[in-house]
């Protein structure tokens, strides 16, 4: 007998899509945040790097908020067990994101080198920790954690740290780091782009190797081979290899490769998890299923109607944001420029349309 309904599957898929969208979009934010201090050699270069994601990062984080909210509404038991059991790990992620986001806002508010240096470290560490810990968290979800018969997490923070989950953290960190380097190669010009290209060329093979290792390890842990996870895992590895091949000469193709690779990498994990929401390391009889974790059928119906009506507008708005701020940036663009809107206005005055035809753009 099936242990799930059609709407439960629909919402499992939608939540998976939300998390995958978050990892693709916020993934390059993490990479850029880590690289800001490495690639930026002066204030103008650091400002250009910061502005490459300045109009985007807060919109990208909406995917996380919606994913968490959808999980709470559609699968409250999943949400309860996950957020209580992973409390410390998620608290660290939250603090890191807050410090990073405050750094984005305050970096340019002070004129002293010490002020900016402190916030640069805040941005770097606030990007590094989530990039690492999200990988650890999802490896625990699919790999199993100490959950008892009452769906209660009975372990502690250190139970979440195992060779498998730590390897997953290193894999996600390396993937997001390379993804961010490719984004900067695609979005910037001049010396910043040259340095980002050099980092991407070196980082992509490492990310590909770690991602491959984790996917192979995940498949090897299965009691019986799931052909679909094998297919998506192979497709993910192929996408990362494509990014490796094009990292130097075609950043757009390489960035598309990492985006597809991230999507397939986490799709493999969601397929491995289905039809469960949490796996118990104590006994398979304690595994949490979709049906056990789900809200009522009526709640899922209402959520589906709301999602169908509102989601297209959210996607259109975010797509419009990416289109408006699609121009390449370079250090030469930033003299009196303080905000992304200042940059658009400056390019309009130069005779461009703000879309990549002004100084330092479109090359």
pLDDT at 54: 86
**Mean model confidence pLDDT for the chain:** 89
Alpha-carbon distance of 13 to 270, in angstroms, equals: 9
Q: Name the more confident of 248 and 348.
A: 248
pLDDT at 344: 63
pLDDT at 356: 44
Alpha-carbon distance of 59 to 43, in angstroms, equals: 25
Q: Name the more confident of 321 and 362.
A: 321
Alpha-carbon distance of 274 to 278, in angstroms, equals: 9
Share of the chain above pLDDT 70, in %: 91
pLDDT band of residue 95 (cuts 50, 70, 90) is very high
pLDDT at 342: 62
pLDDT > 80? residue 341: no
Alpha-carbon distance of 324 to 9, in angstroms, equals: 36
Tens-place pLDDT, residues 291-313: 999 999 999 999 999 999 988 98
Tens-place pLDDT, residues 17-76: 999 999 999 999 999 999 998 898 888 888 889 989 988 888 899 999 999 999 999 999
Least confident of 171-180, 226-235, 324-333: 324-333
262 burial level (CB within 10 Å; 0-12, 13-18, 19+): buried
Tens-place pLDDT, residues 103-160: 998 888 877 888 888 999 999 999 999 999 999 999 999 999 999 998 899 988 888 9
Confirm if 101 and 45 have CB atoms less than 8 A apart.
no
pLDDT > 80? residue 184: yes
The three state secondary structure string of 201-263 is: HHHHHHHHHHHHHHHHHHHHCCCCCCHHHHHHHHHHHHHHHHHHHHCCCCHHHHHHHHHHHHH
pLDDT band of residue 363 (cuts 50, 70, 90) is very low
pLDDT band of residue 100 (cuts 50, 70, 90) is very high
pLDDT > 70? residue 352: no
Tens-place pLDDT, residues 260-281: 999 999 999 999 999 999 999 9
pLDDT at 40: 86
pLDDT at 2: 56
Tens-place pLDDT, residues 202-235: 999 999 999 999 999 999 998 888 899 999 999 9
pLDDT at 343: 58
pLDDT band of residue 325 (cuts 50, 70, 90) is confident
The whole-model pTM stands at 0.88
Helix (H, G, I), strand (E, B) or coil at 276: strand
pLDDT at 1: 42
342 burial level (CB within 10 Å; 0-12, 13-18, 19+): middle
């Amino acid at each position: 007998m099936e242990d799930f309904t059609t709407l439960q599957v629909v919402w499992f898929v939608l939540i998976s899509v939300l998390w995958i969208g978050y990892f693709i979009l916020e993934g390059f934010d993490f990479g850029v945040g880590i690289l800001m201090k490495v690639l930026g050699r002066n204030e103008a270069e650091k400002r250009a790097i910061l502005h490459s994601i300045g109009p985007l990062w807060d919109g990208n984080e909406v995917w996380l908020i919606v994913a968490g909210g959808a999980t709470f509404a559609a699968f409250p038991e999943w949400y309860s067990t996950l957020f209580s059991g992973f409390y410390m790990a998620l608290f660290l992620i939250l603090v890191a994101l807050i410090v990073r986001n405050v750094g984005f806002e305050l970096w340019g508010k002070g004129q002293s080198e010490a002020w900016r240096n402190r916030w640069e470290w805040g941005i770097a560490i606030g990007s590094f920790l989530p990039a690492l810990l999200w990988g650890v968290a999802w490896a625990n979800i699919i790999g199993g954690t100490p959950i008892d018969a009452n769906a209660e997490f009975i372990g502690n923070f250190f139970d979440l740290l195992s060779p498998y989950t730590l390897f997953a953290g290193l894999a996600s960190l390396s993937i997001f780091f390379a993804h961010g380097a490719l984004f900067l190669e695609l979005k910037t010009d001049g010396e910043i782009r040259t340095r980002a290209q050099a980092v991407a060329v070196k980082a992509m093979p490492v990310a590909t190797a770690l991602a491959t290792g984790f996917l192979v390890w995940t498949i090897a842990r299965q009691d019986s081979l799931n052909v679909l996870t094998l297919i998506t895992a192979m497709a993910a590895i192929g996408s990362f290899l494509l990014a490796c091949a094009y990292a130097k000469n075609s950043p757009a193709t390489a960035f598309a490769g990492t985006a597809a690779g991230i999507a397939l990498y986490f799709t493999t994990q969601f397929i491995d998890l289905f039809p469960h929401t949490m796996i118990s390391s104590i006994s398979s009889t304690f595994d949490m299923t979709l049906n056990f974790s789900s809200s009522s059928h009526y709640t899922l119906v209402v959520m589906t109607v709301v999602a169908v009506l509102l989601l297209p507008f959210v996607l259109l708005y975010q797509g419009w944001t990416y289109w408006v701020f699609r121009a390449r940036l370079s250090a030469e663009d930033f003299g009196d420029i303080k905000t992304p809107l200042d940059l658009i206005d400056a390019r309009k005055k130069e005779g461009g349309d703000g879309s990549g035809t002004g100084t330092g753009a479109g090359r």
